Chains A and B, each alone.
Chain A
Amino acid sequence: MIWLTWRQHRTQGLYTLLGLAALAAFIVPTGLAMRRDLDRLVGQRCATGGELCDRGMNEFIDTYSPLLHVAILLLAVPLLFGLFWGAPLVAREIEQGTHRMIWTQGISRRHWAWTKAGLLGGAVAVLAAGYGWGISWWYEPLQIRESRFTEVFFDVQGVVPVGYTLFAVALGLYAGTVLPKVMSAMAVTLPAYIAARLAVGMYARPRFMAPLNRSLAIDDHIEGMTGAWLMSTEVRQADGTRVTGGMMVCRPEGDGGLCAAAREMGLRPGAYNYQVYQPEGRFWTFQWIETGIFVAAAALLVWLAIRRVRRVA
């Protein structure tokens, strides 16, 4: 069974490794370049602060911001595993009729299904772990521009890609047992995966732990929170009513009153910035909780899929 799994999937494994190698061929040089430039433009200059530091940071951010778009593309990687590793697993066997050959040899369907799911799931988990670790390494310098805890960037690094990938593969596997045609299984896996990810990312993740909040006076220099997840930021009147989203950053007048821009917006004295956030220290906790959710969902889907396999003609 081990030999069979290897022989059946070695081509797709090869293509996957080639794809990951191509990704690495992009990630590694850019990651090294970013580190070099970060050290040159920011690290050495900002020990003392000052204008040189600010200019260095701006130059670094201008140069490397476009890479953030690449990070968005990386969201698709777990889904690709689901479509090309998960969906065909059972669906192709049934679509091509080979299930009538392999299930009438000498092994039970259950043994076949569990061995395949286990071996491929293990391989996928290892690949995803490596991939997650690689992206984490690559992303580090970019934290200066966008916290890794922020939506989307949280999703492409660390340990959550393992959860997403296992979930996508399990979803494809289950879809293949319900719709025993590869194309149909893929067509169902795509929206289902997106829906699940959006549901967890938008509704569950903000509630994993009660967020913190802080109020900041309106000034021309607001202290940022590196590595935290800024969930919302707004400007409030002294009594707490929301005026607008965003942040008000301006130097107060000499007498302590609000600057002209603030007054133009209708802000009265005592107005402040209000931010809701998850602190940086909770990053890994959130990573593990979200991974756990998707791994549990994956396990459930695999169990359901194998139950269906036993009843398929």
Chain B
Amino acid sequence: MRGHEMEHVLEADGLGKRYGARWALRDCTLRLPAGRVAALVGPNGSGKSTLLHLAVGLLRPDAGAVRVFGNTPYENTAALADIGFVAQDTPLYRDFTANDLVTMAGKVNRRWDATLARTRLAQAGIPPRIPVGKLSGGQRAQVALALALAKRPRLLLLDEPVASLDPVARREFLRTLMGGVAESGTTVLLSSHILADLEHSCDHLVVLSSGAVQLSGAVDDIVGEHRRLVGPRHHGEPIGGVAAVVRARHTDRQSTLLVRATGRVTDPSWTVHELTLEDLILAYLSDGVTEATHEAWGVAA
């Protein structure tokens, strides 16, 4: 793997952010190693944007701390030079042409590679002298990405960059992103709720739900550790090789368990299945709310 020193690009310790009485992000602790392409997944309102805004210094923490390359990003323009950020819905000055935006970025950034910006924009087929408000969503996303990459950042933060794009534009965006990562070795943290895109591009995962980190680590480790077990009705007894039961579903005679395993599960009464990344993420994100809701509606579950 690149980055032999386990340098952590992003560190959060008990990080929290509150809006009024509601904690949008709570007790968030995570480490992002250098050179990874990390996915930040979670449902809407889970705190993904809040975490990214804290990491890029737009917000100040109400609890805990966040450090990027060892520095606090809040009100720290020196730290900003190393961070590239694209906010949700890729905000840009809509009456500016792509050319204007490149000029602007050159004037407000310390480190700026104008040639790289123009090359990437040319590759993406972006017309330079048309106001970006008239471009398609996919083209605007490419412009925002080109601007972020031309900063030559060491960390790239992307907030749902492909959420509102059509599949073709999504694929184009991911290709440009992967090409940029290959060239520069920059670390990436990108939030998304389109899981299918992430499987091939991300090697690190952070799962957020209700403002808390549910799962975080290298994708290979996570997929390797988790198994789905199908077997007779389980009542909480320990199972050999299983460190923890993450999710359980029961019928009167059968149980399906999602477990984190420490070794091989050799108990013959259990059938062991591997899981795809998507299955895993969905399992961690699902709540046990549905039974209660059925009762509230007065219908049989």
CB distance from A59 to the nearest CB of B (A): 52
Choice from B56, B75, B87 contacting A310 with Cβ under 8 Å = B75
A4 to B80, CA, bound (A): 19
Query: How far is B75's CA from A107's CA once the two chains are assembled, in angstroms?
Result: 9
- CA A250 – CA B118 in complex, angstroms? 85
Cβ contacts under 8 Å, A97 to chain B = 87-89, 91
Given the known A-B contacts A104-B80, A106-B109, are A96 and B91 also in contact in the complex, defined by CB atoms under 8 Å? yes
Known: A100-B91, A106-B81. A3 touches B104 (CB 8 A): yes
Which residues of chain A are within 8 angstroms of B85 by Cβ–Cβ distance?
A: 100, 104
Interface mask (A276-311 → B, CB under 8 Å = 1, otherwise 0)? 000000000000000000000000000000000010
Map CB proximity to B onto A1-24 as digits: 1 under 8 Å, 0 otherwise: 101100110010000000000000
Asked if B259 is at the interface of the complex by the 8 Å CB criterion, the answer is no
User: Please, how many angstroms separate the alpha-carbon atoms of A313 and B56 in the complex?
Assistant: 11
Cβ–Cβ < 8 Å partners of A106 in chain B: 77, 80-81, 108-111, 151
- Report the Cα distance A3→B96, complex, angstroms: 13
- List of A residues within 8 angstroms of B151 by Cβ: 105-106
The interface size of chain B toward A, counting residues with CB under 8 Å, comes to 31
Docked-complex contact A3 and B91, CB < 8 angstroms = no
A98 on the interface (CB 8 Å rule)?
A: yes
Check B103–A3 contact: CB distance below 8 A. Answer: yes
**Are B108 and A104 touching (Cβ within 8 A)?**
no
Residues of B44-95 whose CB lies within 8 A of A: 53, 56-59, 75, 77, 80-81, 83, 85, 87-89, 91-95
Known: A3-B104, A4-B107, A4-B108. A101 touches B58 (CB 8 A): no
Mostly helix, strand, loop or mixed at chain B's interface? loop
Interface size class of A (residues with CB under 8 A): 20 to 34
> Which of A3, A101, A108, A109 lies at the interface centre, i.e. has the most chain B CB atoms within 10 A of its CB?
A101
B19 CB → nearest A CB, Å: 9
Question: Does any Cβ of B come within 8 Å of A208's Cβ?
Answer: no
Q: Give every chain A residue within 8 A of B77 (Cβ-Cβ).
A: 106-108
Is A102 part of the binding interface, using a Cβ–Cβ cutoff of 8 Å? yes
* Contact indicator A105/B80 (Cβ below 8 Å): yes
User: Closest chain A residue to B57 by CB distance?
Assistant: A104
Are A101 and B92 CB-contacts (below 8 A) given A7-B104, A106-B108? Answer: yes
A7 and B96 within 8 A (CB): yes
With both beta carbons as reference points, the residue of chain B lying nearest to A8 in the complex is identified as: B93
B129 smallest CB distance to A (angstroms): 14
Instruction: State whether the Cβ of B105 lies closer than 8 Å to any Cβ in chain A.
Output: yes
Q: Does A114 contact B (CB under 8 A)?
A: no
Q: Shortest CB–CB separation between residue A82 and chain B, in angstroms? A: 22
Once the chains bind, are A104 and B83 in contact (CB under 8 Å)? Answer: yes
* B100, CB-defined interface residue at 8 Å: yes
Partner of B58, one of A1, A3, A104: A104
Please report B residues at the A interface, Cβ cutoff 8 Å: 53, 56-59, 75, 77, 80-81, 83, 85, 87-89, 91-96, 100, 103-105, 107-111, 144, 151
